[in-house]
Structure 1
Amino acid sequence: MTATSAFPSIAEATMMPRVIRLGPNLYGAAFTLMKLLPAHHILKRAEERGELGPDTVIVETTSGTFGLALAMQAALMRRKLILVSDPAIDANLYRRLTDLGARVEICHEPAEVGGFQEARLRRLAEIRAELPDSFCPEQYSNPGNPAAYQLVADQLTRTLGTVDTLIGPVGSGGSMCGTVRALRAGTPHTRAIGVDSHHSVLFGQPDGSRELRGLGNSLWPANLDHRVFDEVHWLTAGEAYASTRALHATHALFQGPTSGAAYLVARWWAERNPGLTGVVMLPDEGYRYQATVYDDAWLQAQGHPLREQPAARPATATSPETVGERWTRFAWDRRAYEEVPGAVARPAAAAQPVGAGA
C-alpha cells in the first residue's frame, strides 16, 4: 500500500462494511464494528462545530459496541471519555474500554421504570452536571447517527445497483433508518425489514427481560422512525444464536448474535423472493462472543441445545400484542407507531433515551 492510499486511522480503515454474496440474490454488509461509523461521524462533526474544546470530556451511556467505537475514536483523538454502563457489560469489553483510556462507571441497580437504561441516563446527567465542559454523542437522538449511514447506502448502490430489500437489527434505529432513507432517495420501492427481540418496546411489545443483547430496547429512541419499516420480525435468543453459528459454518462469517438474528430473517426472505436483491446488515464480528455464543458449554448452560434448529419460517402476527415466544413477523406497512393497532400505548411524554443503548 502506498502512502497516498493509506488510511489515516483504524477507524476509517474498518468502519465501512465488506459486501459479500451469501446466495443468488442475497448479500451481506459485514462490518468489523458498525458503530464506528456513527461514532466517527458524530465526533468529527462536533469537532468541526467547535463543540469539542481542548478540555471537553466525552460522556456517554452504553453497554456494548457504541462504547467500544467511542473509546477507539476518543483514543485516536486524544480525548477524555467517561462511559456509564451496567452489569451486562462483559469483562473482555470492560478491559478493552479501560485499556483504551476510558473511565467506565457501572450502575448496579435498575430504575423502577426503564430498567438499567434509565438508571444509566440518570447517572449520565449527574456526571455532566459535575463537569464544567462535556459533550454527549447521544446516539439515540443525535441525527448524526442515521446521517452517517448515507455512506453505506452509497456503497451498496455502487456495488449492487438496486437494493430491493434491506434487512437488519434495530436498536437505536440509526443504521436501518439512515441506510433505508438514503437508498429510497434513488429507489423509493426499497423495503425495510427490522429485526427485534421479544419484550422490546421498539415495535409495540411491553418491556421485559431480554437475553438477546445488541438489539431491542427498553425505551423509545428518537432516531427510530417507524414509518421506514415495511415489516418487523421478533426472534428469540436461541434462534439468533443458532443462526449465528450457521452463518459461521456456512459462510465462514464470524459475526455476533445480532448478525445471526438478521441473517435468519434475510435467508428466509431471499428464498421467498428469488427475483429480487436483498442486503442484510451484519453489525459486528464475533470475537466478543467466543466465550458465549461460540461456546457449546455456555449454550447448553443457558438452555440452548447444541445444533438447535430454528423454525423454517416465522409465524405471522396480526398485531404486536399477538406475538408469541418464537420467531414471528408482522406487517408494519410504514406506519407511525400510533397507527398500529395492538401496540403498547406510549406515555404522553415517552422518555427518549440519550445514548442509552448498545
Structure 2
Amino acid sequence: MHDHFAEAVKEPDLVRVREDLVCVRFETMKIYSALGAVRRLLETGAVRPGDTLIDSSSGIYAHALALACNRYGLHCHIVGSTTVDATLKVQLEILGATLEQVQPSRSLKLDQSLRVRRITEILRENPSYHWMRQYHDEIHYLGYREVAEQLDRAVPPGPLSLSGGVGTGASTGAIASFLGELGRDVTLVGVQPFGSVTFGAEHVADPEMIIAGIGSSIEFENVRHELYDRIHWISFEYAMSAAVDLLRCSGVFAGLSAGAAYLAAHWERERDPGRHHVFLAADTGHRYAESAYSRHREAFELERMRPREVGVLSELACPWSAMDWARRPACARTHDVLGVA
C-alpha cells in the first residue's frame, strides 16, 4: 500500500519487445528524479515544507515535480514550454502547482532560452524560491538507483546495453552508473535530437523536431559525457516511425523519445547480439497523439531505417546518424578533435 500516488506511478513496466530487447516503460520517468532530489533537499534542510520549488520543463518533469511537491507539502511553480498540453495543465492546477508558458516558438533554442530567462526573473522577484536546476544539479541522479536495482534483478546476468534519451543526463547516465556499481557490464547508448549542443549537433537542423526533452540548445551541466559509449542523433520522422512500430508490435504507447530509443536499441542489438538490450520509454504517447501518432500512415518501416555511421561530428546529417563516442569527455565536442574511432 502506497501513501501517495507519486510512489505508485513511478514503477515502470518491463515489456519484452523482441528476444533480448526489453522496453522499460514509465508512466512518468522523472518522478524518480524529482522524488529523490526533493527527499535529499528536505533531509539536508535546504528546503522546508511550505517552500516553493521552481523549474523549467517541457512536460514530463513538470508533472513529476508537481507530484513530489504535493507528496511532501511544498509549493511548485513551472515555467513550461508549449508542449505542456491541456491534460497536464489541469493536473498541475489540481495538484497545487502553478504554470506559466513561454510564447510559442518553432526554435528549440529560443524556447529553452526564454524559459531559463523567465526563471531568472522570477528568482530575482522571489529569492526564497528554490530552483531545482534539473539541467544542472547532479542531485537528480539519486532517485535512479532504484531503477538500476530493479533492472539488475529483472534482466538475466551478463553484459547489458542501455539506450535512452540523454536529456539532462540524470536518467540514462544515472541508471548506467548505478548498474556499474552493481557489477554489471554496461554499454550506454545515448539518444539525441539534431540541433542539440550536448553532443555537438547544433549545426544540423531538424525543422520538425519536437522531442525537446532529450536534447538542448543550452548546456546541461549534469551530463557526464564520459559515461556514453555510443550516440544516436535521430530526426522527428524516424522517431515517429519507430514509435508507431513499437505500438504496433508490442502495444506500448509511448512518447517520441521512446521511439528514438527503440530505434537505437534495435540497431545496437544487430551490431552487438551478445548483450541484453534495454531501452527507456520515459512517458506515454498521449501528448503526441495529434502531432505524431496521427501521421502513422507516413511512418517508415523499421527495417528500412538505417543510420549514417560517422567518425566526426561535421559528418552528422538527418534523418539518423550514429557514432562511437567511446566515453570521451565533454571537451571532445568539437569538429576537429573527434577522429574516426
- Structure 1 length as normaliser, TM-score? 0.86
**Counterpart pick for 1:317 among 310, 315, 323:** 310
Q: Distance in 2 between matches of 1:54 and 1:334?
A: 40
| Structure 2 residues without counterparts, runs of 5 or longer | none
Please state if 1:133 is matched with 2:128: yes
Q: How does 1:159-238 map to 2 (within 5 A)?
A: 159-160=154-155, 161-187=157-183, 189-206=185-202, 208=205, 211-213=209-211, 214-238=213-237
Cα 1:314–1:187 change in 2 (3 A) is farther
Letter in 2 for 1:327: W
Q: Summarize the Cα distance change of 1:292–1:116 in structure 2 as closer, same or farther, 3 Å threshold.
A: closer
C-alpha distance 114-271 of structure 1, shift in aligned 2 (>3 A): closer
Corresponding residue number in structure 2 for 1:356? none
Paired residue for 1:264? 263
- Indicate the residue corresponding to 2:300 in structure 1: 308
Conserved 8 A contact 1:205-1:343: no
Which letter does structure 1 place at the counterpart of 2:58? S
Point out 4+ residue stretches in structure 1 off by more than 6 angstroms: none
SS in 2 for 1:146: helix
After superposition, where does 1:311-350 map in structure 2 within 5 Å?
Answer: 311-342=304-335
Q: Which residue of structure 1 lines up, in the alignment, with residue 64 of structure 2?
A: 69
- The CA distance in 2 between the partners of 1:196 and 1:344, in whole Å, is 20
How much does 1:210 deviate? 5.7
Matched, 1:82 2:77: yes
User: 1:41 pairs with 36, 55, 66, which one?
Assistant: 36
Deviates more, 1:34-43 or 1:176-185: 176-185
Unaligned 5+ segments in structure 1 are: 1-5, 300-304, 346-358
The total of aligned residue pairs comes to 332
Would the aligned equivalents of 2:2 and 2:8 in 1 still touch at CA under 8 Å?
Answer: yes
Distance 1:88 1:286 in 2: 13
Measure how far apart 1:239 and its partner are: 0.6
Q: Displacement, 1:139?
A: 1.1
Distance in 2 (CA, whole Å) between partners of 1:309 and 1:36 is 33
Larger deviation, residues 174-183 vs 211-220: 211-220
Q: Distance in 2 between matches of 1:28 and 1:114?
A: 30
Normalised to the residue count of structure 2, the TM-score between the two structures is 0.90
**Other-structure match for 1:248:** 247
Q: Is residue 108–residue 216 contact of structure 2 (8 Å, CA) maintained in 1? A: no
Deviation of the 1:225 alpha carbon: 0.7
Q: Distance in 2 between matches of 1:154 and 1:247?
A: 25
Q: C-alpha deviations, 1:216-268, integer Å up to 9, x for none?
A: 11111111011111110111101101111111110011111110110011112
Letter in structure 1 aligned against 2:89: Y
**Structure of higher RCO (CA pairs closer than 8 Å, 6+ residues apart):** 1
Q: Is the 8 A contact 1:337 1:343 kept in 2?
A: no
1:130-164: CA deviations, max 9, x gaps? 22522222111221212221111111111123342
8 A Cα contact 1:332 1:340, kept in partner? no
The answer as to whether partners of 1:212 and 1:236 remain within 8 angstroms in 2 is no
Partners of 2:270 and 2:128 in 1: CA distance? 53
* 1:32 CA drift (Å): 1.1
Give the drift of 1:329: 0.5
